[in-house]
Amino acid sequence: MKVTGVSAHNVAYPEPNDNGNLRYLTFCRVDTDDGAFGWGEAITQFPDAARATAQLIEGMAQLVVGRSPIENVDIWRKIRASTWWYGFRGGIASFALSAIDIALWDVKGKLLGQSVANLLGGAHRNRLPVVASTHAFNASIEFEAERHGRYVREQHYQGVKVGMGKRGSAQLGYDVARDVEFVRLLREAVGPQAMIMMDRGQSLPWTLADAIRRTNAFEEYDLTWIEEPLEPSDVRGFRILRQHVKCLVATGEREWTAHGYKDFIETGIVDVVGCDVGRAEGITGAMKVIEYVEANDIWFNSHAWSSAINTAASLALSSVTPRCLLQELKPDSNPMQQELIDEPFTQSEGWIDVPIKPGLGVEPRLDVLKKYKF
């Protein structure tokens, strides 16, 4: 069995969990000579990044075509080595490698009749606790607190993660008193047991003092973690922050490579490592991140905020390590989850099952990719 083709497919879609704003993804399909195929994805987010990633995928195809998909890890190594000039420490090359790698794991699982979780050594657990992960965008903090509260009270998510500083009219993350009042209202809305995570959002220019002040105030309402309270390069700031807060500190979703993750994990600044399989060199790359996480007794968190392909891969990764606290799921119906596949991922009573079908266990619908093609 050999790979006969590698193709890229860009989409643009409105994301209800992000105030209906357009987001961009790059999918990759790998075909083999016996008719099997696999799908991968890169969370490119922006149009220029998606176009560039598609070009790189098509160029990298020469290192994949003719190889057996069973040799996927060696293919990953060779592609990575080929990007020495333009992909050192990450960048668009990591997007392209991620998409190809995920697709190869998918087709490998189908050929062997095994789920990706099984290929990775077996699931540590077969289901994961789920929190609703979305952005605040309404101008009324009362509205936003109640909206998020319903995810817990009515849909039974085990908690919520709220993105501040996002597009829309919420304007969370700018006024301290208003932010603290929102978290107070949020705690009332979700009840005493639910987890609450607050995500700064990279557009907010918080100082170290801002981050400490807000986090301390949020902690009065039993904050599970604060996410990216500072820019990830601010190692000194994170170290000081951790001396002043009690909750977990999360960061990492903007990292590209296992080497980069290793460097910042070893600084000791992070409790929860955010890792996006569609960015961090695919499943092969993310497994290396998990190794570093386990070696340092911290926590792994999949940044699964794109398509069902990413969600399937993220669930497999989250399932194979005991160092995973939860799985994030976008609560509002969106095209790249509910439309893209015939059996969309859903949670039940705050839990989600790990896919057990061969490969990723999901197949994107070609008509949906065509509908949102750009």
Residue range 259-275, pLDDT digits in tens: 999 999 999 999 999 99
Read out DSSP for 119-134? HTT--S-SEEEEEEEE
Shortest CA distance to 128 belongs to which of 344, 323, 336, 271? 323
Confidence at residue 203, expressed as pLDDT on a 0 to 100 scale? 74
pTM over 0.85, yes/no: yes
Antiparallel, parallel or unpaired: β 351-353 and 127-135: antiparallel
Same-domain check for residues 46 and 194: no
Q: Does the residue 361 lie in any domain? A: no
Same-domain check for residues 151 and 101: no
Gap between the Cα atoms of 121 and 16, Å rounded: 36
Read out DSSP for 232-280? TT-HHHHHHHHTT--SEEEE-TT--SHHHHHHHHHTT--SEEEE-TTTT
- Residue 128 exposed, middle or buried by CB count within 10 Å (0-12, 13-18, 19+): buried
Same-domain check for residues 228 and 260: yes
Shortest CA distance to 184 belongs to which of 147, 221, 219, 146? 221
Q: Does the residue 359 lie in any domain? A: no
Q: Does the residue 358 lie in any domain? A: no
> What domain range is 77 assigned to?
3-113+366-371
Same-domain check for residues 99 and 199: no
Q: ∠ at Cα 25 (66, 120), nearest 5°?
A: 55
Gap between the Cα atoms of 125 and 158, Å rounded: 17
Q: Does the residue 360 lie in any domain? A: no
Confidence at residue 137, expressed as pLDDT on a 0 to 100 scale? 93
Confidence at residue 204, expressed as pLDDT on a 0 to 100 scale? 86
Whether the Cβ atoms of residue 159 and residue 131 lie closer than 8 Å to each other: yes
Q: Does the residue 321 lie in any domain? A: yes
Same-domain check for residues 64 and 167: no
Residue environment code for 36-58, b if the CB has 16+ CB neighbours within 10 A, otherwise e = bbbbbbbbbbeeebbbbbbebbe
Provide the 3-class DSSP secondary structure of residue 325.
Answer: coil
* CATH number, residue 80: 3.30.390.10
Q: What pairs with residue 31 in β-bridges?
A: 5, 37
Give 210-231 pLDDT, tens digit per residue. 999 999 999 999 999 999 999 9
Q: Does the residue 331 lie in any domain? A: yes
* CATH number, residue 189: 3.20.20.120
Same-domain check for residues 144 and 242: yes
Confidence at residue 178, expressed as pLDDT on a 0 to 100 scale? 97
Same-domain check for residues 73 and 186: no
Q: Does the residue 45 lie in any domain? A: yes
Same-domain check for residues 304 and 331: yes
* Residues of the chain under the 50 pLDDT cut: none
Confidence at residue 285, expressed as pLDDT on a 0 to 100 scale? 98
Same-domain check for residues 54 and 173: no
Confidence at residue 202, expressed as pLDDT on a 0 to 100 scale? 74
Q: How many Cβ atoms from other residues are within 10 Å of residue 338's Cβ?
A: 15
Same-domain check for residues 63 and 190: no
Contacting residues for 297 by C-beta, under 8 A, at least 6 apart = 323
Q: Which two tokens stand for residue 168?
A: 């829309």
When divided into structural domains, the chain yields a total of 2
Give rounded-to-5 percent helix, strand, coil for the chain: 40, 20, 40
Same-domain check for residues 107 and 164: no
Whether the Cβ atoms of residue 327 and residue 318 lie closer than 8 Å to each other: yes
Same-domain check for residues 52 and 163: no
Contacting residues for 65 by C-beta, under 8 A, at least 6 apart = 2, 3, 4, 5, 6
Q: What pairs with residue 22 in β-bridges?
A: 14
Provide the 3-class DSSP secondary structure of residue 31.
Answer: strand
- Residue 222 exposed, middle or buried by CB count within 10 Å (0-12, 13-18, 19+): middle
